[in-house]
Structure formats: C-alpha cells, structure tokens
C-alpha cells in the first residue's frame, strides 16, 4: 500500500526552568543496552542472544504512527491484517502471531486471543517508544512455548532529562491514493500530545494522549457506500476503518541504587466491519432497498504496570508487576446502503472479557567478581 504523508501542524515546545544554573551533569558515552532475554540490563555486545534494536531516532525517521508500521519494514517480519475483526498479527519467518511473544517493558500484553501472543501491534502508537528489541528464533526457555519464532519487546520512555517537555503534533496521511480533508472514508488523521515534568533529581512524571482515526484501506473493494443490484461483492474494505484512542500516565522515582516506575495505560478502539454482501430488503408499501448486515467492534483495555530495580546488598533485584483488563464487544446492525442510514441496531454482545495478573522477579550478581561479568 502506497502511503504519502502530509504534515499539517507540528508544534514542539521545550521549556527549561532555572536555565541560568550551571548543569552539573557530566556527559558520558553510554553503551547501548538491551534487556530482552537477559537477567538484567546488559550491553548489546554482551547479550547472549542476537538482539536487533530499533531506536527512537529510527522510528522518528520512518514517519509512522504504530508499532505495526515500524516492524513491517523489518526483514523477515510481516504484519498480517484480519479483514474479519480488524486486528493485525505479526508473522516472523512465515509463522503466525501465535508463535511470537509481544512484550511492553518486559510484560506480555493482554488481548482477546491470549496474553502476549496474537497481539495487535497496530494498537500500539510510537509517540513514547524508546526502542524496540527484536529477537528472532526460539525463546521458549525464557518466555514459554509460545515464543517459537522469537520475542518483540517494546521499551517505552521513562527518563526525561529536561525540566519541562511539551510536544503537540497533527498528522494527515493518504491511504493508498485516498485522501480528503472533509470527506469521511478517506485518509488517516493522527493527533498526539506529550507532556513531561521533572519535579527534581529523583521524581519525574509524564502523560500523553494519542488519537488515530484510520478511515480504512479499500484495496480491491469500493468502500461502504458502494452497491450494485448484481451484488458483485465489492463493497467494503481490505483493511477495516478504526478509531483508536490511547492515553498514558507515568511516575518515576530514582535515587542511589533504587528505581521505581509506575504507569497506567488506557486504550479505546472502535472498528467498523462493512459486509461485502448486499441484500434486497422490503421497506413496506411496495418500496424496497438494499441493506448490508454490518458490525462494530469495541475494545476497552487498562494496563497497570509497576517496575522496581534495586540492590539487596551486592545482589541486584528487578521486578515487573502488572494488572491488565480487556473487554471486547460487538454490535450488529442493518445498514441501508442507498439511503446511507441505519435501519436497526442490536444490543452489544460481550464476547471477550479478561483480567490478567502478571509478575516476574529476577536476582542477579550473586558472584561479585569480574571473572563472571555477564
């Protein structure tokens, strides 16, 4: 799918308080570190696995809006959309999403098909991604038997050096050859707001909101307004329209050898399924019309995440804790295609409702010796 991007407004504001004070921080070149498959943060050169890292600068240069679009440009990774329910799954080396583990900050993401697998990466926006770590190959020992093809670990931003940070961006995109500023059913519209505040040397807080209005990709189809009496099956979309809202709020505390991090994430997604089949329908009084049995999908997800890194004597401890809930509903309705109105709408049906509690703790550095530097 060809994509062109038109940047309508991009506003960034960076404000420093007490700028007249001399910066007491010394600059130091830091080695690139990874955490996927490691006991703790480790230099990429010392990692026991081959870890591919996509950093924030690379993501920014791609001019994309979701993690799915980032990884779709990676060798041997393909994002496969499902025209039935609007989700997209990842395929590594030809195997589907059931064999790939998806993590956010080391924590498996809940979804309507499980936890960590078949995760829809198009639901994850890129505005607060620090880096993406990709390990291709069997990782069953560390992450279970559903990590046959590998692990994708999305690391979010946690440490804000600037006193105050505010970024606002509006983005307009074509979808294939379709785009119209006013006309519904053409293009993609993305609005993002990021805020960060470093209270002092120990405390910092962040918040962001992202709205992604994707009007669908028609491909070989002709959109939701199309119909013919011959019912040629060309109504609808190859990639379903969806409206996605995500918000994050986080707090970080760091002092000496201890770092505490808490984040809450909320996701709301509406997906519109447009049936390809159009049926003749009597309205009464001798009048007839053509209807389609369409369906809307509604997703609400909450993620509470807590991370601790500290030292117990000479022993390092890292703990990840998460409580996640996700509810997905569907709603059927009849759509009068020629008159472009709804005839009837059924009540919502809850077909997936989950609550997941996850925890993982690791101790390391039992042998305090340079001979065992791993």
- pLDDT, tens digit (0-9, with 9 covering 90-100), for 208-217: 999 999 888 8
Average pLDDT, the chain: 82
Please provide the DSSP assignment of 321-364 as one string.
EEEEEEEEEEEEEEEETTTTEEEEEPPPEEEEEEEEEEEEEEEE
pTM: predicted TM-score of the whole model, two decimal places:
0.80
Interval 40-62: pLDDT, tens: 555 444 456 788 889 888 988 88
Cβ-contact 150, 101 below 8 angstroms: yes
Give the burial class of 74: count Cβ atoms within 10 A of its Cβ; 0-12 exposed, 13-18 middle, 19 or more buried: middle
Residue with token string 């059931």: 98
Q: What confidence score (pLDDT) does residue 48 get?
A: 64
How buried is 121 (Cβ within 10 angstroms: 0-12 exposed, 13-18 middle, 19+ buried)? Answer: buried
| Residue 99: both structure tokens together | 């064999």
pLDDT at 46 (0 to 100):
45
Domains of the chain, with CATH numbers?
Answer: 5-17+36-372 (2.170.130.10)
176 exposure class (CB count in 10 Å sphere: 0-12, 13-18, 19+): middle
Q: Select the more confidently predicted residue: 44 or 128.
A: 128
3-state secondary structure of 141: helix
| 29: DSSP letter | -
Whether 16 has a pLDDT exceeding 70, the answer reads no
Pairwise CA distance, residues 85 & 185, whole Å = 18
Cα–chain-centroid distance for residue 227?
34
Cα–Cα distance between 190 and 245 in angstroms, integer? 10
Position 139 scores a pLDDT of 82
């Amino acid at each position: 799918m060809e994509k062109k991007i038109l940047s309508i407004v991009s506003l960034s504001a960076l404000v420093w308080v007490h700028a007249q004070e001399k910066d007491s921080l010394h600059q130091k070149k830091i080695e690139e570190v990874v955490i996927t498959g490691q006991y703790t943060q480790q230099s990429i050169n010392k990692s026991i696995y081959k870890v591919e890292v996509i950093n924030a600068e690379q993501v920014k240069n791609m001019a994309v809006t979701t993690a799915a679009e980032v990884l779709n440009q990676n060798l041997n990774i393909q994002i496969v959309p499902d025209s039935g329910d609007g989700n997209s799954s990842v395929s590594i080396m030809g195997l589907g999403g059931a064999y790939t583990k998806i993590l956010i900050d080391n924590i498996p993401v809940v979804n309507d098909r499980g936890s960590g697998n078949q995760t829809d990466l198009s639901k994850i926006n890129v505005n607060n991604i620090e880096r993406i770590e990709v390990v291709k190959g069997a990782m069953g020992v560390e992450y279970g038997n559903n990590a046959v093809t590998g692990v994708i670990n999305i690391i979010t931003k946690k440490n804000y050096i600037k006193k105050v940070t505010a970024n606002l961006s509006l983005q307009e995109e074509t979808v294939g050859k379709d785009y119209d500023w006013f006309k519904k059913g053409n293009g993609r519209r993305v609005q993002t707001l990021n805020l960060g505040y470093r209270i002092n040397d120990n405390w910092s807080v962040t918040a962001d909101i992202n709205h992604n209005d994707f009007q669908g990709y028609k491909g070989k189809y002709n959109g939701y307004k199309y119909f013919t009496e011959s019912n040629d099956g060309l109504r609808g979309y190859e990639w379903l329209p969806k409206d996605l809202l995500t918000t994050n709020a986080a707090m970080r505390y760091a002092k000496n050898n201890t770092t505490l991090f808490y984040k809450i994430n909320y996701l709301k997604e509406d997906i519109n399924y447009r049936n390809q089949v159009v049926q003749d329908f009597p309205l009464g009084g001798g009048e007839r019309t053509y209807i389609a049995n369409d369906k809307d999908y509604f997703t609400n997800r909450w993620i509470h995440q807590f991370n601790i890194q500290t030292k117990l004597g000479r022993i390092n401890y890292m703990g990840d804790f998460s409580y996640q809930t996700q509810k997905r509903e569907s709603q059927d309705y009849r759509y009068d295609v020629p008159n472009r109105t709804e005839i009837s709408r059924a009540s919502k049906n809850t077909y997936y409702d989950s609550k997941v509690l996850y925890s993982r703790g690791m101790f390391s550095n039992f042998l305090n010796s340079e001979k065992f530097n791993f």
